[in-house]
């Protein structure tokens, strides 16, 4: 009875439905037609990439038909539109996504099979569109999908980077960064719009004119103009009922080259302007809360904010003809502070271009914008030096000063208007050279400001935005993040999806809350056996991938303990590594004990400039090298670091995970979204009370999640007492031994002091409280072991996790934004 189940589980996207022969034949013919006329290849000479392009183009035709209808309907009904401004869209691959949402996947797989082509192979040749760093960019991608699914008329606006997030290679355990090249074979999903070009100005000077009524008018004369070119990608909602546009801007110089210079023989100099302009959309900023800031970044931010606003204002004027109704017809969401300069840009457009009085302009601006904050980390809250702003965007600096003056005038009247309070409320930070606080600008320019989990939104009110919140109480709201189940359940884990739809019906992806109906099956052993068999098949598949990529053999029956996300000190990969080292020492000393075979899986990128994070990557690799080859350990413990973590790799790892590591220092992870993807796919979480972990705990119940460590309040209290790790280390023999072995070079014999700096930091300057949480984490890992031994109880908890994750669908999140922030209608998906 076991065998067919496993085989079924291994077959990707087996929905059990046999597609109609006529439809299959039609799709096959369309693909062949594309191969011939668009790719210009014969069946005999086509490469997998050619087949990929032909298949993508054939499904794209279907998408385009609905796309044009969606745009038309929005026009006819005069609906309010949502504009999602984000410097990152981490969309990953689109072929399987497009086929799934257009409900063409089974037919297309069958059609390709008739041609001797395997759809899974085509899936693998598509490059990941990695136009983002991590959770923030992936959230934007999930939101785009859910907005289309809910038939919201929405546009995503961003930058079409030539090179997305760097490709990570691991050499001798160390991270190396290589440029990523997603466009090198062309991009079948995008449409260039040569007719849509906007000029974006920089620098220059301001001329003051006196109007007939004596009022002054400021006219900005930019010293440099860069062109923004539109590229559109259709985003198909579930069941293809509605299609939205992701419009990405590429930068180009106004003149292709300086002919005079070229003719005089200066061939390189002739291209200078072009190089300078195009550098704006050359590479994704390697941010993700790493400490770095530079002029090019500000140019990127203004470039895309300006092009997007020009575009949406043009659309508004051509549809409605009155700029004063903008806020009724457009909701602009700022994804973090990166697009915050748009607040000043809209003021510039309203006041300077449309001659709307200042106060009226400010009212329109506030009613149009809203802002999402994604982190409380001070290094990620952007501030720009006033002299830089002044030079690059002189008119915007003027506008920001005026916004600030009026704002401080208003709040300065209150009884508690001390100098310190005004300094905290000001748009200008004067504490270390004058800098513009972009978070404050986004806050003031918006009617709603939201955090991304309940805890995070609460902390916003007591930390970074405490003073602003007191001026406009009630402005901060919470919108707990979500994930799209189409990608993170159906596409990543088709076998589990089939099992679940067997129970709850095939409207699961229309309404995720029906997952609740799975709960009773947690005690049904026939069900949990099938559930477990699917996990095992996914682990076998992941093991093959690991073998392939890094040559390490895994035991699919071991506990897969997974820690995948950006590498950052606050995410505490090092806490996990310390537990690994402690267990390694114990296995070696007491190999006779009954150990649970376990695989520690790490993956993630470190910002290129983040030295400590890169050292942590090296440590994980070094520990793996020693542990994996230790004769006493005999495979009871394996440690692997999978290079080049991206969306596609996440889709392979998450369905194969037993344990999900969500162990950030409490109060520091705004939400997390990986945590939701794991729990949905049935991994149990080991985590701190941080971000959305708190809400996951609420939904699944304490017996079905492993919570440990200091709470956010305790972290704050602890830090005021001092952050030395010495006491905690002295109290824990296990911890001191693990640290000692790392510090003394057990894992880096060729360079024994390699990890001294890491260990010293933990000992004397443990800001992330790794040492304080170590014992609690270690003990909780032992609870995990105990539970793993009781398989019945383990799978029961796993099923309970899955069944309670419906609330974390990004359809729920987007419905909340639509109702409470944007004021736009939603239409739930369904067969129509
Ligand atoms: C937050 F500030 N996030 C930032 C940033 O620069 N990049 C980024 O990815 C993340 C948060 O760290 C998060 O907690 C959150 O869920 C995500 O934004 C989306 O809100 C990580 O997963």
Is 276 annotated as catalytic? Answer: no
Where does 506-808 sit in CATH, by number?
Answer: 3.40.50.2000
pLDDT tens digits for 608-665? 999 999 999 999 999 999 999 999 998 899 999 999 999 999 999 999 999 999 999 9
Return the pLDDT at 4: 30
pLDDT tens digits for 163-180? 999 999 999 999 999 999
DSSP per residue over 359-428, as a string?
HHHHHHHHHHEEEE-----GGGS-EEEHHHHHHH-HHHHHHHHHHHHHHHHHHTTSTT--HHHHHHH-SE
Residue 510 has pLDDT above 80, yes or no: yes
Question: 597, 612 in Cβ contact below 8 A?
Answer: no
Is 208 annotated as catalytic? Answer: no
Helix (H) or strand (E) holding 348: helix 341-348
Mutate to test the pocket of ligand 1, among 132, 134, 439, 672 (most ligand atoms within 8 A of CB): 134
Number of H helices, E strands in the chain: 34, 24
Structure tokens at 390: 């002044």
Name the packing angle between helices 341-348 and 358-368 (round to 10°): 140
Q: How many percent of the chain have pLDDT more than 70?
A: 97
pLDDT tens digits for 314-370? 999 999 999 999 999 999 999 999 999 999 999 999 999 999 999 999 999 999 999
Handedness of CA 410, 413, 415, 421 (dihedral sign): positive
Enumerate the CATH 3.40.50.2000 domain ranges in the chain, comma separated: 78-93+128-177+192-481+815-822, 506-808
Is 792 annotated as catalytic? Answer: no
635 torsion bin: left (phi>0), alpha (psi -120 to 50), beta (else): left
More confident residue, 213 or 494: 494
Residue 287 has pLDDT above 80, yes or no: no
Neighbours of 641 (CB within 10 A): 26
Is 614 annotated as catalytic? Answer: no
How far is residue 685's CA from residue 661's CA, in Å, rounded to a whole number? 6
Is 580 annotated as catalytic? Answer: no
Q: Say how many Å lie between the CA of residue 134 and the centre of ligand 1.
A: 7
Is 513 annotated as catalytic? Answer: no
Q: How many percent of the chain have pLDDT more than 90?
A: 92
Q: Say how many Å lie between the CA of residue 140 and the centre of ligand 1.
A: 11
How far is residue 304's CA from residue 296's CA, in Å, rounded to a whole number? 12
| Catalytic residue chosen out of the listed positions 565, 568, 699, 754 | 565
How far is residue 477's CA from residue 466's CA, in Å, rounded to a whole number? 13
pLDDT tens digits for 107-145? 999 999 999 999 999 999 999 999 999 999 999 999 999
Return the pLDDT at 416: 73
Return the pLDDT at 381: 86
Return the pLDDT at 417: 77
Report which protein residue has its CA nearest ligand 1's atom 18: 136
The residues lining ligand 1, judged by C-beta closer than 6 Å to any ligand atom, are 133-136, 139, 287-289, 374-375, 380, 452, 481, 669-673, 691
Q: What is the mean pLDDT of residues 759-769?
A: 98
Where does 78-93+128-177+192-481+815-822 sit in CATH, by number?
Answer: 3.40.50.2000
How far is residue 376's CA from residue 116's CA, in Å, rounded to a whole number? 53
| Catalytic residue chosen out of the listed positions 456, 566, 605, 754 | 566
Which of these, 152, 127, 140, lies nearest to 87 by C-alpha position?
A: 140
Return the pLDDT at 470: 94
Return the pLDDT at 414: 73
Report which protein residue has its CA nearest ligand 1's atom 1: 374
């Amino acid at each position: 009875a076991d065998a067919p189940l496993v085989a079924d589980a291994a077959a990707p996207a087996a929905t059990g439905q046999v597609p109609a022969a006529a439809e299959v034949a039609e799709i096959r013919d369309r693909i062949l037609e594309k191969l011939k006329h668009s790719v210009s290849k014969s069946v005999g000479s086509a490469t997998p990439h050619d087949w990929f392009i032909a298949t993508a183009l054939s499904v794209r035709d279907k998408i385009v038909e609905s796309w044009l209808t969606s745009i038309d309907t929005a026009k006819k009904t005069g609906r309010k539109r949502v504009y999602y401004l984000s410097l990152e869209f981490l969309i990953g691959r689109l072929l399987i996504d497009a086929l799934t949402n257009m409900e063409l996947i089974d037919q297309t797989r069958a059609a390709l099979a008739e041609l001797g082509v395997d759809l899974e192979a085509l899936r693998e040749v598509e490059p990941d569109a990695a136009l983002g760093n991590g959770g923030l960019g992936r959230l934007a991608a999930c939101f785009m999908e859910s907005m289309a699914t809910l038939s919201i008329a929405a546009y995503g606006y961003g930058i079409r980077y030539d090179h997305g997030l760097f490709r990570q290679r691991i050499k001798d355990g160390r991270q190396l960064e290589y440029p990523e090249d997603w466009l090198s074979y062309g991009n079948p999903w995008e449409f260039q719009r040569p007719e849509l070009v906007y000029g974006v100005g920089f620098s220059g000077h301001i001329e003051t004119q006196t109007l007939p009524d004596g009022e002054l008018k400021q006219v900005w004369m930019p010293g440099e103009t860069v062109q923004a070119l539109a590229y559109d990608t259709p985003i198909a909602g579930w069941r293809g009922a509605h299609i939205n546009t992701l419009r990405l801007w590429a930068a180009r110089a106004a003149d292709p080259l300086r002919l005079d210079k070229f003719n005089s023989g200066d061939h390189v100099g002739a291209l200078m302007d072009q190089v300078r302009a195009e550098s704006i959309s050359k590479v994704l900023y390697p941010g993700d809360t790493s400490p770095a800031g530079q002029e090019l970044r500000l140019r990127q931010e203004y470039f895309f904010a300006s092009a997007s606003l020009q575009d949406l204002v043009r659309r508004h004027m051509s549809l409605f003809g009155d700029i004063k109704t903008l806020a009724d017809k457009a909701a602009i969401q700022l994804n973090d502070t990166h697009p915050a300069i748009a607040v000043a840009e809209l003021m510039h457009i309203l006041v300077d271009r449309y001659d709307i009085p200042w106060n009226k302009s400010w009212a329109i601006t506030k009613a149009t914008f809203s802002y999402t904050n994604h982190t409380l980390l001070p290094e990620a809250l952007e501030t720009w030096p006033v002299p830089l702003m002044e030079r690059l965007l002189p008119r915007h600096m003027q506008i920001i000063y005026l916004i600030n003056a009026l704002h401080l005038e208003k709040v300065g009247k209150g009884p508690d208007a001390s100098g310190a309070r005004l300094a905290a409320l000001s748009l200008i930070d004067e504490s270390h050279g004058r800098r513009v606080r972009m978070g404050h600008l986004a806050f003031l320019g918006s009617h709603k400001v939201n955090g991304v989990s309940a805890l995070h939104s609460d902390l916003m009110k007591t930390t970074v935005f405490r003073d602003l919140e007191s001026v406009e109480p009630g402005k901060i709201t919470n919108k707990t993040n979500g994930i799209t189940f189409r990608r993170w359940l159906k596409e990543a884990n088709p076998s589990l999806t089939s099992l679940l739809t067997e129970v709850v019906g095939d409207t699961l992806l229309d309404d995720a809350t029906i997952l609740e109906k799975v709960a009773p099956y947690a005690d049904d052993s026939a069900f949990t056996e099938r559930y477990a068999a699917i996990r095992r098949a996914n682990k076998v598949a992941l093991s093959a991938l690991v073998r392939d990529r890094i040559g390490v053999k895994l035991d699919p029956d071991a506990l897969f303990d997974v820690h995948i996300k950006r590498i950052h000190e606050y995410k505490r990969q090092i806490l996990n590594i310390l537990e690994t080292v402690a267990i390694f020492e114990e296995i070696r000393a007491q190999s006779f004990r009954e150990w649970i075979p376990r695989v520690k899986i790490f993956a993630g990128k470190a910002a290129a400039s983040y030295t400590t994070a890169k050292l942590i990557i090296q440590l994980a690799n070094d520990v793996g090298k020693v542990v994996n080859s230790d004769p006493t350990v005999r495979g009871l413990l394996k440690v692997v670091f999978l290079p080049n973590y991206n969306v596609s790799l996440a889709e392979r790892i998450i369905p194969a995970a037993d344990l999900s590591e969500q162990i950030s220092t409490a109060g520091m992870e705004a939400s997390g979204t990986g945590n939701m993807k794991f729990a949905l796919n049935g991994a149990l979480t080991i985590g701190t009370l941080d971000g959305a972990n708190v809400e996951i705990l609420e939904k699944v119940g304490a017996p079905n999640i492993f919570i440990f460590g200091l709470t956010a309040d305790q972290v704050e209290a602890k830090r005021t007492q001092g952050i030395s790790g010495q006491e905690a280390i002295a109290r824990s023999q296990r911890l001191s031994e693990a640290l000692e072995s790392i510090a003394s070079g057990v894992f880096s014999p060729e360079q024994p002091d390699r990890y001294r700096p890491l260990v010293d930091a933990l000992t004397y300057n443990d800001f992330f409280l790794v040492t304080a949480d170590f014992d609690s984490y270690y003990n909780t890992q032992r609870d995990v072991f105990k539970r793993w031994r009781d398989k019945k109880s383990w799978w029961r908890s796993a099923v309970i996790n899955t069944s309670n994750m419906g609330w974390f669908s990004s359809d729920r999140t987007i419905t909340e934004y639509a109702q409470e922030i944007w004021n736009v209608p939603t239409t739930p998906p369904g067969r129509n």
